[in-house]
Amino acid sequence: MHTLFTPTRDLRSRVFPPSPPPRWFTWSTRAREALYLLSDEIPSLPKPTLEYFGPAEYGYSIGCEVRDSISAQLRQHIDSIAMAFHRIRTETGLLLFDNLMDQCIDGNTIRSLFALVRSTLVAKTGDSMVAIYAPLGAVGGTAQGDFPLHADLYPPAYLLNVFDHVPSDGSGASLLLPMEALLRMVDTLPSIPIKVNQRLRELVARPSEVDHYEEFYDLLHGEHPWTAALEGAMADQALRVALSRGQGYLVHDRHWLHGRERPRGRVRKDRLHRLIFDTERTLKARRIEARHAR
Ligand SMILES: [Fe+2]
């Protein structure tokens, strides 16, 4: 199996004040070689297509069925990379990335990789929601302006965002906040009712096959007596990182909130590539939870 990522130069001093800061990674040598091979073979790949398998935003994904149209060598690499994604473990639930794109690894390569990884994981697990590569803009996602801190609360647990076309002036920076920090705030703000506190905790405690994004977002940012105080506390503690092309982050969506500041100009559909996926552990947890919910 591939070692998917390897530690890279330390960029933390210009990004994160907290200690210990998250670590920066880039593709391992083997994964990068595989991506170069993929990049070479893209002209002969079938075009990734949008597949619908459910009614909500987590019910569609870009996929690519290519078992017969890629070289045996690339097929081995893709299988290995897909399983490496499926076996990722992070202690903090947050990894930062640099140099994921270069002269050969462009937006097309990342798009094809994510489509292939998604298709491979679905084939291996038999679960259509084990990985989702929902393009921005097909349903929402390219709203203009800022996007306050939130959790997506998709069925799959991990969110990998790789930034592509972002403003060069550092506007539109990513915001990150540990869920633990949010829950501490919720405990200490007197304006938040106990029932709301409990509901927020319930929503992030366990995986779910049902989308609770809207409800969670409303409790944080809707018209409530506690919203201004909570948003102020979140802004005080949010980590801010302006990520450029080829940089990105991986978060466990129930352990870290994410958002963005207002970028200059329009938010482009190819602003970022995002792969949402379950690891073996999180898929198992989701399946156990689904059985209990029946
Ligand atoms: Fe999001």
Interval 47-56: pLDDT, tens: 888 888 777 7
Close Cβ partners of 247 (under 8 Å, ≥ 6 residues apart): 96, 97, 98, 99, 100, 162, 163
Question: 161 alpha carbon to ligand 1 midpoint, in Å?
Answer: 10
Q: What is the pLDDT of residue 13?
A: 42
Q: What is the pLDDT of residue 144?
A: 67
Q: What whole-number distance in Å separates Cα of residue 98 and Cα of residue 7?
A: 10
| Domains, in order of start, for the chain | 5-10+19-293 (3.60.130)
Question: Strand 24-27 relative to strand 94-97: parallel, antiparallel, unpaired?
Answer: parallel
Question: 183 alpha carbon to ligand 1 midpoint, in Å?
Answer: 18
Nearest residue to 117 (alpha-carbon basis) of 279, 246, 269: 279
Query: What protein residues have CB closer than 5 angstroms to ion ligand 1?
Result: 152
Q: What is the pLDDT of residue 199?
A: 96
Using alpha carbons only, give the angle 170, 174, 179 rounded to the nearest 5 degrees. Answer: 160
Nearest residue to 253 (alpha-carbon basis) of 179, 162, 185: 179
Which parts of 43-160 fold into alpha helices (H)? 72-86, 107-125
Q: pLDDT tens digits, residue range 249-260?
A: 999 999 999 999
Question: 72 alpha carbon to ligand 1 midpoint, in Å?
Answer: 36
Q: Within 13 Å, how many C-alpha atoms sit on residue 134's CB side?
A: 25
Average pLDDT value for residue range 171-179: 91
Q: What is the pLDDT of residue 14?
A: 43
Question: 164 alpha carbon to ligand 1 midpoint, in Å?
Answer: 16
Q: What whole-number distance in Å separates Cα of residue 175 and Cα of residue 193?
A: 26
Determine contact, residues 117/81, Cβ cutoff 8 Å: yes
Q: What whole-number distance in Å separates Cα of residue 157 and Cα of residue 287?
A: 12
Q: What is the pLDDT of residue 139?
A: 44
pLDDT of 15 > 50? The answer is no
Question: 162 alpha carbon to ligand 1 midpoint, in Å?
Answer: 13
Q: What whole-number distance in Å separates Cα of residue 78 and Cα of residue 112?
A: 11
Q: What whole-number distance in Å separates Cα of residue 259 and Cα of residue 255?
A: 14
Q: What whole-number distance in Å separates Cα of residue 131 and Cα of residue 112?
A: 14
Q: What whole-number distance in Å separates Cα of residue 121 and Cα of residue 117?
A: 6
Question: 163 alpha carbon to ligand 1 midpoint, in Å?
Answer: 13
Question: 140 alpha carbon to ligand 1 midpoint, in Å?
Answer: 11
Question: 271 alpha carbon to ligand 1 midpoint, in Å?
Answer: 13
Q: Could you tell me what percent of the chain has a pLDDT over 90?
A: 60
Question: 260 alpha carbon to ligand 1 midpoint, in Å?
Answer: 9
Question: 69 alpha carbon to ligand 1 midpoint, in Å?
Answer: 33
Close Cβ partners of 5 (under 8 Å, ≥ 6 residues apart): 25, 26, 27, 28, 31, 95, 97
Instruction: Name residue, tokens 């996926």.
Output: 277
Using alpha carbons only, give the angle 167, 39, 277 rounded to the nearest 5 degrees. Answer: 70
Question: 258 alpha carbon to ligand 1 midpoint, in Å?
Answer: 6
Question: 103 alpha carbon to ligand 1 midpoint, in Å?
Answer: 28
Question: 150 alpha carbon to ligand 1 midpoint, in Å?
Answer: 6
Q: pLDDT tens digits, residue range 70-129?
A: 889 999 999 999 999 999 988 777 899 999 999 999 999 999 999 999 999 999 999 999
